[in-house]
A = this chain, B = another copy of it.
Amino acid sequence: MKSYWGDGPTAVSINEICRRAGVSKPGLYREFGNEDDLKTAALESYRELVLSQLFEIFEADQPFDEALAALTGLALQDRAQTGLPTGCLFGKMRGCRSELGPKTNGAIDATWSTAQDRMQDWIDRAKRNGQLDSQISTTTATLYVDAQIANAITMQAEGVQKAEISEFLQIAFNGLKCFG
């Protein structure tokens, strides 16, 4: 069900969702409430399915370099094999917030907030361990890592070769390591 959000949270109508899922429209409404609730549920499902893997990396007790390598590996893993759609639902939703309902927007805020918290802890830890230049603002670093991962996932969805995405992330993360 949630898998059909691969082609954009605003690109698929409720009718189309029902058609694809083989479920009646009243049935879907009984289960989810309305469109806003449905999209909220889809985002929550995405968070548990995909973002949780990122959070695990951020929380893991490992050197900064290894965490970056793990992030690269995660961003590069083949979505086609897992049967899941490509692209980042969270990123797509953040890109068209004005077209989404208030509940979905609230969920986006909450998700982004917890993601930033996780990343802040991780960045601050790396700074304390001397693995990251403490001149770099923590908030900028979180924005940076988030954006680069989103870039990589989006590029994969657009069909860019894995080797190029890998090099892309290598360059991007290099910017963090050799700062100043």
A contacts with B, residue count (CB < 8 A): 34
Q: How far is the CA of A151 from the CA of B92 in the complex (A)?
A: 14
Per-residue 0/1 for A82-126: is the Cβ within 8 Å of any B Cβ (1 yes, 0 no)? 000000000010111011000000000000000000000000000
**A174–B164 touching, CB < 8 Å:** no
Q: How far is the CA of A13 from the CA of B10 in the complex (A)?
A: 13
User: Within the oligomer, what is the number of copies of this chain?
Assistant: 2
Q: Which chain A residues in 153-171 approach chain B with CB under 8 Å?
A: 154-155, 158, 160, 164, 167-168, 171
Q: Which chain A residues in 5-42 approach chain B with CB under 8 Å?
A: 7-8, 10-11
Complex interface: chain B residues within 8 A of A178 (CB): 174, 178
- With most chain B CB atoms within 10 A of its CB, the pick from A10, A95, A176 is A95
Q: How far is the CA of A86 from the CA of B14 in the complex (A)?
A: 30
Partner of A7, one of B92, B94, B98, B137: B98
Task: Write the residues of chain A forming the contact surface with B, with a CB cutoff of 8 angstroms.
Answer: 7-8, 10-11, 92, 94-96, 98-99, 136-137, 139-141, 143-144, 147, 151, 154-155, 158, 160, 164, 167-168, 171-176, 178-179
